[in-house]
Amino acid sequence: MAYWSRMVTDGHGAYERFNKQNSALSHAQCWVHSRRYFDDAQKAEPEAAAIALAYISRLYEHEKVIREQSLTGQEKQDYRHQNSTPVVDAFFNWCHEQRQRIDLVKGNPLSKALAYVMKREAALRVYLNDPDVPMDTNHLERALRVIPMGRRNWLFSWTEFGAEQVGVIQSLLVTCKLHGVNPYDYLIDVLQRISCHPASKAGELTPRVWKEKFAANPMRSDVENLTNGR
């Protein structure tokens, strides 16, 4: 059973390898990360970078309208098809034309920006056909900001393995918050349930699926039961 169908990421190669191993997964990539490359190219290619940034800004203007009009589902997808798809088409046509420039050397920041987005064109287009997919990973980065903010605390993880586990736990807690799951209730339930839960159904213990199956009647700790006089 598949417990997820979509993945929205930055351009790190690890996600592409994971996607190849999970062919049923829809992998969308982040427009903000793409935009940063054109930001970096402004000094070397101010006019060309400005055109690229203008295209991307128009896409975000359409997303603003979607939010303001509270469009969801098919209405959201139809709006994107009508308004955003032509902009994306024009953007990638422009990128292709820029790559034909004989004066554009490989080391130019604009060359790097163009190569980055052209390689990821299919993944950058995913959001156009799926109303549940956001344009970027900003919401995830905001949620995970607590990790770099607490970097001095992670110095006391003692080992590299310990630091990795901190990262896993932080990611799990953020996932709970994104799905509207109380992290305390989730962890109390899962840490007890996992000992008797079939390993083949481990996906049911991920926050999103757990919310559907167990959140209505989570397992409680003995300490909590004593506190409540049970």
Q: Where are the domains of the chain?
A: 6-136, 143-227
What confidence score (pLDDT) does residue 177 get? 86
Contact between 95 and 118 (Cβ < 8 Å): yes
Q: If you average pLDDT over residues 76-97, what whole number do you get? A: 97
Encode pLDDT of 143-190 as tens digits: 666 666 666 666 666 788 887 888 888 888 888 988 889 999 999 999
- The share of the chain scoring above pLDDT 70, in percent, equals 87
pTM beyond 0.95, yes or no: no
Bridge partners of 71, per DSSP, are none
Q: Of how many residues is the chain composed?
A: 230
Q: Give the confidence band of 42 by pLDDT, cuts at 50, 70, 90.
A: very high
What confidence score (pLDDT) does residue 151 get? 66
- The share of the chain scoring above pLDDT 90, in percent, equals 56
Distances (CA, A) of 101 to 43, 105, 120, 153: 18, 9, 20, 49
Q: Can you point out the beta strands (E) in 77-143?
A: none
**Where do we find the tokens 């990790």?**
147
Cα 187–chain centre separation: 23
**Residue 139: is it exposed, middle or buried by C-beta count within 10 angstroms (0-12/13-18/19+)?**
exposed
